Amino acid sequence: MNTFAKLEGWLTPAGVPVSVSVALAPSTAYSSDLTGFQLRIELARLRLLKGFDELLCLDGLTGVEHLPHQIETVRRVLRYFRGRVLLADEVGLGKTIEACLLLREYLLRGLAKRVLILTPPSLVSQWREELSVKFGLEFAVPLGADVRSKPEYWSLNDRVLTSIALAKGKNFEAITSVSWDLVIVDEAHHCKNRSTMNWKLVNALKRRQLFLLTATPVQNNLMELYNLLTLLEPGHLKTEADFKKTYIQRGNPLDPLNRERLRSLLGEVMIRNTRSLVSIDLPPRYAQTFVVKPGSDEAHLYRLVDDYLRRSRPPVMTMEEEAANAEGMSLDHPHEGVNLEVGLPPRVLGNRRRISSLLLAAGSHPKTLASMLERSMSDQPEIKPIIDLAQKIGRSVKEEKLLELLRQGAGGANKTLIFANFRMTLRQLQTLLTESGIAFSLFSGDMTAAEKDMAVLEFKERVPVMLCSESGGEGRNLQFANTLINFDLPWNPMRIEQRVGRIHRIGQTRETLIFNLCVAGSMEERILRLLNDKIRMFELVVGEVGSILGALTGGEEFESLAMNLWLRSRDDADLDAAFDQLGNDIVTARKEYLKTKELDKALFGEDYE
């Protein structure tokens, strides 16, 4: 460890102060070892290789598929933008990956130490997971209570990930009083309006570098773009009045004046990759949903579970309560068999989570439901008959349908990937396929890397089917498969999108077939109906669902919204009505999204560079 001494500095010709510190010579011990001496010098020279030509962030990443345009973006930001940039790639081109690569690069190079990431509340957990799992970066995620009683939280933690909602509230003063090396704002279009607290917060933050991320820098008019860029570089587009006079054509927001000049100025602070620019055009994908009618035992089982859960349901939490209490918690990994409640604050512990897990399990497989009930509620006498009934059910209707699909050819020449939420469901499917003589491989999140490699190799070369857990397959090249069966469904559409993205991705040359299985009357059926009929989710490109639902739910996670509808409803009819209303809202949100998309396209074109 070096001890440093401060020396007198100097001023550059423009008056920039240069402070000088010198590490003291470590000791007076000597040797006559020339090799050691030369190696010592070589070591220092090797350190110089960490220049910007060599990206350091790419090595050692697990499960991150970085595309050429993302790498190019990282290089451009490092070389030319010097840490202040609006990343405005079209939806689905991986802005988050770009930002994380940049973040990792900045950390590895020592260009940033204190980092603040601001996201909408609904994306906090997703960011935390991606940062941790894919980039090996751990971030402190404050709960409301953490920071309310401890304003020094922001200076004590060097890497903080939080929602903009939490940051701008009572924490405004504390968070803006400390310095940050790098601030990343996801979904930065929420800062498009200067009179909002969002804009004011980002403007007030003391930071050296700032990445703003949004696919839609302009949602209604060009002033939104002006406001965003003013956060990055005040004055880059001159004053508001100047900007309006020079670039905005009254009555026609789609056709700015001085377009080329505007584009050239934008190029200095904004990067926008478009699909046409990076040549990502995938073959079409087709989705088909099979709503299977449950047999009498299964129908009875769902009725019993539904009734029981309705009797024991908790009050609906407000959005603020959810944000304040559950922010950043990993809530949605029932498939990995984790104890959902470990680490959750007391208010979140309890019925709400348990109910959503049980509803998900009921939608997955009777045996999975039985197993979960036995684990968590077997002490309650009224549960016993439900468990007995679930155990009694042999082959479920969804299993029958799955076999039918596989026999019809889904698992023939086409390689078929079957997804399931729960480990127990995967075990049931293993038994089903084995008994039916269908060869398969198994890919699960709890397997070692070598086992996973083996499973993929087997799937690629020998067997027609691979059973896959939720997180399974992320970062693997599975484009050789073109058929996907969702045996059950997560309520989070992003997770459905991730599943589809396993095979419908760059490198896929054939049409992709997606089959969804759900039981009539289940929550999954309702959710699928919304996503299919109202958003036409399976026709959208990756990321667009998030853009539509993000605007609709105002930051609340979609599955939480769906859960609230269930909790608020008295019966199925009530629930159907609530879902219908949600469907109408989704249609409106989709229209808004398409309008925004059209505006962005008109302003930036498809060849923005």
Partner 1 sequence: MSVVIRERLSAFAQAALEWRGGVVDWPPDKEDGEAVLPPDVCLLLKCPEAVTLSHQIRDGVMAVNLASDFLERMEVLFEAEPFIGVFKIPGLYLKQSSMEEPVARAFTWRNAKVKVLSAQPTQLEYQTWHFFVSLHSEDRWEDTCSVTINPATRVEIQMPDPATIASLTPNHEPQANHLDTFDLAVRLMVAKVKSRAANFIERIDSKLKRDHKRLHDYYNALLEETDRKVAASKSETTDVKRRELAEAVQLELRRKSMEMDERYAVKAEFKPLALLRAQIPALEVKLEVFRKQSRRIHTVYWNPLMKQLEPLGCASCGAGVNSVFFSDKEVDPLCPSCAERRGLGARR
What residues line the site for partner 1 (CB under 8 A)? 2, 4, 7, 9-10, 12-14, 16-50, 54, 56-60, 82-83, 108-109, 111, 206, 208, 233-236, 238-242
Distance of CA 564 to the CA centre of its chain: 22
* In the complex, minimum distance from the CB of residue 19 to partner 1, in angstroms, rounded to a whole number: 5
Closest CB to partner 1 among residues 20, 338: 20
The total of other beta-carbon atoms located within 10 Å of residue 558's CB is: 23
Any idea what the Cα angle at residue 542 is, between residues 536 and 546, rounded to 5°?
A: 75
* In the complex, minimum distance from the CB of residue 236 to partner 1, in angstroms, rounded to a whole number: 7
* In the complex, minimum distance from the CB of residue 230 to partner 1, in angstroms, rounded to a whole number: 8
* In the complex, minimum distance from the CB of residue 152 to partner 1, in angstroms, rounded to a whole number: 21
DSSP summary character for residue 234: T
- Selection from 435, 358, 438 nearest residue 395 by Cα: 435
Closest CB to partner 1 among residues 270, 323: 270
* In the complex, minimum distance from the CB of residue 487 to partner 1, in angstroms, rounded to a whole number: 32
CA-based Rg of the chain, rounded to a whole angstrom? 27
Handedness of CA 519, 523, 527, 533 (dihedral sign): positive
H-helix or E-strand spanning residue 346: none
Closest CB to partner 1 among residues 54, 461: 54
Contact 420, 426 (CB under 8 A): yes
Strand partners, 514: 287, 484
Closest CB to partner 1 among residues 108, 140: 108
**Distance (Å, rounded) from C-alpha 341 to C-alpha 330?**
10
| Longest Cα separation, the chain | 88
**Distance (Å, rounded) from C-alpha 276 to C-alpha 274?**
5
- DSSP SS3 for 13: coil
Closest CB to partner 1 among residues 244, 395: 244
**Distance (Å, rounded) from C-alpha 543 to C-alpha 550?**
10
Closest CB to partner 1 among residues 56, 174: 56
DSSP summary character for residue 140: B
* In the complex, minimum distance from the CB of residue 170 to partner 1, in angstroms, rounded to a whole number: 22
Closest CB to partner 1 among residues 52, 286: 52
Return the residue matching tokens 């009498």: 296
Closest CB to partner 1 among residues 62, 276: 62
Closest CB to partner 1 among residues 32, 296: 32
* In the complex, minimum distance from the CB of residue 62 to partner 1, in angstroms, rounded to a whole number: 9
DSSP summary character for residue 134: I
* In the complex, minimum distance from the CB of residue 40 to partner 1, in angstroms, rounded to a whole number: 5
* In the complex, minimum distance from the CB of residue 9 to partner 1, in angstroms, rounded to a whole number: 7
Contact 141, 162 (CB under 8 A): yes
Specify whether the backbone of 213 is left (phi greater than 0), alpha (psi in -120 to 50) or beta: beta
